Structure 1
Amino acid sequence: MLIRRNMGTADRALRVVAALTVLVLYLTGSLSGPVATGLLVVAGIFVLTSFVGFCPLYKPFGISTCSR
């Protein structure tokens, strides 16, 4: 089964930047506790969806940030 990409380059880059920001805040001690855990999980999902180029939450709403 082939998954059609629904994320454009800018969308993917913004997600990676957001994930890196969360990681830096965590590693510097600015984030801690359950909030940090939740944000790290979301950051991991952001990185995964950025590399794959597909966001499952976009699908039901028919959203696509691809230029094609």
Structure 2
Amino acid sequence: MAFDLDTWPGLPTFLEVEGPDEAAVRGAAEALELDFANASFGSVDEVYLAVLDRDILAEDRLTFAQPR
């Protein structure tokens, strides 16, 4: 199992849980008392699309606004 706190511009920081299969990831989420129903699945480009409706793979150049 691997656990990473991911921070990407424009997205809230999130916990990434990686495992060999869905059962392992579900078990890890349960052990951490996380609600699996609130999980998102896929790569960061899919998260950008789901959360911000932004298709970063279709952009010629990936740029982000500077934080204030």
Q: Normalising by structure 1, what TM-score? A: 0.27
Greater fraction of residues in strand: 2
Greater fraction of residues in helix: 1
